[in-house]
Amino acid sequence: MKTHFNIPVSERLVDRIGGPYVLYSVHLEGFLFCKVRYSQLRRWDQQLRRIFGNSLPPFPPKYYLAMTASMADERRDQLEQYLQSVPTDPNVLRSDVFIGFLKTLQQDTFKIVTKKVPLDVFLPNGRRIQIEILTSDTVERVLEITAYKIGLSRELLEYFNLFLMQGGGHGDLTVIKKMAEFELPYASLQSVEVENCKVGLRKWYMDPSLDARLMDCNVAVNLLYMQTLQEIAENWTKPTHSQRQELERLKEANDKTKFLELAQEAWHHGYLQLDPCTCDYPEAGCGVAISLGNDEISCCIQLPSNQTREVNFKMSRVKCWQVTFLGAAGEVNGPVQNLDQNLELRFQYSEENTWQWFSIYTKQAFLLSSCLKKMISEKLVKLAEEDPEMVSSYHTDFCIVLSKRLVQRSAHSKCSISMI
């Protein structure tokens, strides 16, 4: 599945000798990731092709004459699709050429020199772990350093990730974004325009049954316990009155294993909750609280009558989805850091034997999309364990949808990313 790269804006600039060029602002998960010229991307593509050959997606052709406005817009679309598709090959994603180039771009964009610095990483209970990193260290490397600091087994790192977060502890926790493994946490903290933003360590899976795979590691159990306590305090997980009483008893007894076993039975255990937002179901402008996990999109919708309706969209009936910037995009004359987070995620869903589109308007649309991708990938792994032939059929259906749903830029300069 595609990566959340997009190029919503570009700048026309002049180099030192007076030659014009276009600088593309590449965003990842809705935030500025780097700025890059076409010539830099072209050289990078040539390096990648020397290693991976024609398995790479097509790269936009070079124009030898001045580009018209439509040609410039087409190139931007093509570069966007290229960046979204290149990381889908895990061999490319892990390669030194891929990671090294993106590290350099991030450092050049935000004028970051390589040096040792302290970095605070927050655990789910609010405890701060200070580690020493290089400003050029990727999320993957910082995660390894953090795991070593707290004694978490390297074999369990795949179940955790680093996130940019805000608040926590007072019913105000916001997960801003999941950081990509090739992202530089130091650069992201310097560039993101979010007040009191911090790096947090959290589990990263949407299937609560995967908790069982971590129960033999005391450090992992402690992390799960911290996060479960946090999610109950934030009202993301909603135990019944009797469950809450028993959980309190187990907490006082410091029986973390039994606590986590009982928490599994609580409503929305292990779900990730978004900030309040709006949707178009059952009608436009309805407020909604969205929780994601256990192969579903769970929505508590505020109706115009002030009543609430619980609606659960099962991932097995989701065909595809699309993230769209609703603000203006295109060429600009001055520098742009981060766009207003006016985003829409719309997904196609099978209901009563018909396919319908549902829209959610949230600044966390890319995080929502990441959660949907994670639920799909976990489903594929589970199917592979049960019946490999089902995975082949399931995956082919996704590919057909991809080939039919093209990324389009409308007359209103909406910038879209289609997933699956």
pLDDT at residue number 189: 93
**What is the model's pLDDT at position 69?**
85
Do 283 and 380 fall within a single domain?
Answer: yes
The verdict on residue 154 lying in a domain is yes
**Do 350 and 312 belong together in one domain?**
yes
What distance in Å separates the CA atoms of residue 49 and residue 43, rounded to the nearest whole number? 10
Q: Within this chain, do residues 194 and 216 fall inside the same structural domain, yes or no? A: no
58, 75, 110: which is the final residue of a domain?
110
| Residue 231, both tokens | 């999610």
Residue 408 has pLDDT above 90, yes or no: no
- The confidence band for 67, taking pLDDT boundaries of 50, 70 and 90, is confident
Q: Is residue 81 part of a domain?
A: yes
Give a yes or no: residue 42 inside a domain. yes
pLDDT level of residue 340 (50, 70, 90 thresholds): low
Strands (DSSP E) contained in 116-275 are: 116-122, 128-134, 160-166, 174-178, 198-203, 272-273
Residue 262, pLDDT above cutoff 80: yes
Q: What is the C-alpha to C-alpha distance for residues 41 and 387, in angstroms, rounded to an integer?
A: 40
**How wide is the angle at C-alpha 267 spanned by C-alphas 262 and 272, nearest 5°?**
105
pLDDT tens by residue, 92-142: 999 999 999 999 999 999 999 999 999 999 999 999 999 999 999 999 999
Residue ending a domain, among 110, 134, 153, is 110
Which CATH number does the domain housing residue 345 bear?
A: 2.30.29.30
In a domain, residue 401? The reply is no
Is residue 420 situated within a structural domain? no
Asked whether residue 187 is assigned to any structural domain, the reply reads yes
Residues 218 and 312 in one domain: no
Q: With a cut of 70, say whether residue 403 has pLDDT above it.
A: no
Q: 128: exposed, middle or buried (C-beta count within 10 Å: 0-12, 13-18, 19+)? A: exposed
Q: pLDDT by residue (tens digit) across 275-318?
A: 999 999 999 999 999 999 999 999 999 999 999 999 999 999 99
CATH number for 128: 3.10.20.90
Query: Does one domain contain both 21 and 69?
Result: yes
Asked if the model's pLDDT at residue 21 lies above 80, the reply is: yes
Looking at the fold, whether 95 and 16 belong to one and the same domain comes out as yes
Same-domain status, 214 and 125: no
Q: With cut-offs at 50, 70 and 90, classify the pLDDT of residue 397.
A: very low
Q: CATH number of the domain that 34 lies in?
A: 3.30.1520.10
Q: Distance between CA atoms of 370 and 204, rounded to whole angstroms? A: 10
Which range (96-110, 197-211, 379-393) has the least confidence? 379-393
140 plus 193 within the same structural domain: yes
End-to-end, the C-alpha distance of the chain in Å comes to 6
Residue 391 within a domain: no
Domain termination site, one of 110, 139, 170: 110
Same domain, 276 and 266: no
Residue 257 has pLDDT above 80, yes or no: yes
The residue whose two tokens read 């002030």 is 306
Which domain range does residue 84 map to? Answer: 5-110
Q: Is the pLDDT of residue 404 over 60?
A: no
List the one residue out of 234, 264, 231 whose CA is nearest residue 246: 264
81 & 100 share domain: yes
Rounded to two decimals, the pTM is: 0.89
pLDDT at 374: 97
> Which of residues 184 and 338 earns the better pLDDT score?
184
Number of domains within the chain = 4
> What confidence score (pLDDT) does residue 38 get?
96
For residue 228, the domain's CATH number is 1.20.80.60
Query: Does residue 235 lie in a domain region?
Result: yes
Query: In this predicted model, which residue has the larger pLDDT, 328 or 202?
Result: 202
Same domain, yes or no: 344 and 364 = yes
Q: Do 140 and 178 share a domain, yes or no? A: yes
